[in-house]
Structures are given as C-alpha cells and as structure tokens.
Amino acid sequence: MTPISIRYKQELYSIMQGLVGVAVLVLVLAGIGGTIYKVISPDGWLAQALGRSLSAGVAALGSLALVGGLAWFSRSWGDLNRRTLASDFLVYGFAAAGFLYLAQIWRGSL
C-alpha cells in the first residue's frame, strides 16, 4: 500500500467518525427537545398529572424534584467508571428517544 492510500483511508475514517458524531448529536438534541415538548405541551405529561387532581400533580412534581435533588447531590459520589457508563446510557437513551420522536414527526403523528 502506498502512503497516499493509507492517508486517504485515515481521512475517510475521520470523516465517517465525524458524520456519526453529528448524527448522534442531532438525535440527542431531538430527544431532549422532544422530551421537553412532551412534558410542557397542552396534552403533555405535566398537564395529565395536574389534570387528574391537584394533590396527585403536586405529589408527582414533588417526587420528581426529590429525585432530581438526590441526583444532584450524589453526582460527586461513586465510581468514575459507573458515572461514565451512566452518562453513556443517558446520552444514548436521549438519542433513542430522539430517533423515536423524529420517526413520529416523519409519520406525522407527534
């Protein structure tokens, strides 16, 4: 193999890796945006929780705030390897949600 073909393969690999990174970024942003939309839309999860009764809505919001607060305080504890694994699950979870939201938009049923 000539040095030019090796350089060409390396550049092609870098371009493909960059395109995959951009695709994951688009899916993650769509997942975060779709989740926020599902929470605050008029027919969203928050309206459904508060629409049933005030006490059920307050309990649901309070439990979410409690879980969020505990996650905030516990972020500095634990093994570094588990935190990176958890962040990977979070990122790819939002990417999967973004894929589902984009599929729903494509079908026109969001």
List the domain boundaries for the chain. 3-107
pLDDT in tens, 12-60: 999 999 999 999 999 999 998 888 888 777 777 777 767 766 666 666 6
The answer to whether 34 and 99 have CB atoms below 8 angstroms apart is no
This prediction's pTM:
0.66
- The span from the CA of 78 to the CA of 83, in Å, is 7
Question: What is the Cα Rg of the chain in Å?
Answer: 20
